[in-house]
Amino acid sequence: MKKRFRFLFLFAAVVSVGGCAGSGDSGTWGWYVISPSTAQGMTNIQFLLGGLKDTIVLSIVSIALAMVLGFLIALPGIATNRTAQAINVAYVELVRAVPLLVLILWVYYGLPQVAGMSISIFLASVLALGISDSAFQAEIFRAGIQSIQRGQIEAADALGLKYSQKMRLIILPQAIKVILPPLGNQFVYMLKMSSLASVIGMQELTRRANELVVTEYRPLEIYTFLILEYLVLILIVSAGVRWLERKMHTEER
């Protein structure tokens, strides 16, 4: 982790030096467009960073929806009924087969015609991201629940616990330790995939970078800054997930 942050600091230093050196249009580089040493650069940086809130909120709401849908879809997958298992398999395979970008476009442009209702950019993005990721979440939950020893489930049955009580008190508290690492990976995945919502006008990080490129004509510098934004954001989330994992293991001991 320390090496990664050193790389980020070095990268930021290079950008800053480039911004100071390329303060005019005469050179090949135009780092001045994102240099904090100029008024124009600071304005552009603030504009780009303004997309952080939308990216984070969109990712959190979408992953929450995906977790709820994924858990509900996972339940038929662990049932003994073949019809229920078939429903699980059909949903997972169908949703995973649809490219996320295509799903975003369909939800935003097609769903209003099918449902006869208007839909906001944010809601369309959340629905598309949540539905797409729910198929992966369903497999994560299914694998986590099935990793619990059969004896634990039989003991819960012997105590006369209802299905909901068995899940809440016995199975899920143990399964979460198995589920947490892949859930963290999926949140990182969601942060990156949220950039696709820019195609329908969602004002997140990528959309703002695209708009700034149109006005500044400096794609290399602006998209480099965009990469740095995602790097910092994802490294912070990854560090938080690892900290939570360590805390859970410590409490278990």
Residue 14: pLDDT above 60? no
Residue 23: pLDDT above 50? no
Measured distance CA(120)–CA(163) in Å, rounded: 38
3-state secondary structure (DSSP) of residue 149: coil
Instruction: Show Cβ contacts of residue 92 under 8 Å, excluding neighbours closer than 6 positions.
Output: 73, 77, 135, 138, 139
Length of the chain: 253
Using alpha carbons, select from 50, 182, 211, 51 the residue that is nearest to residue 125: 51
* Chain centroid to CA 35: 29
Domains of the chain: 2-23+30-51+206-252 (no CATH), 53-200 (1.10.3720.10)
Measured distance CA(226)–CA(110) in Å, rounded: 30
Quick one: pLDDT at residue 83? 92
Structure tokens at 246: 């360590």
Share of the chain above pLDDT 70, in %: 87
Instruction: For 50-96, write each residue's pLDDT tens digit.
Output: 999 999 999 999 999 999 999 999 999 888 889 999 999 999 999 99
Residue burial 72-96, b: 16+ Cβ < 10 Å; e: rest = ebbbbbeeeeeeeeebbeebbeebe
Residue 233: pLDDT above 80? yes
Model pTM score: 0.82
Amino acid at 127: L
Quick one: pLDDT at residue 68? 95
Residues 188-211: what's their mean pLDDT?
94
Residue 240: pLDDT above 80? yes
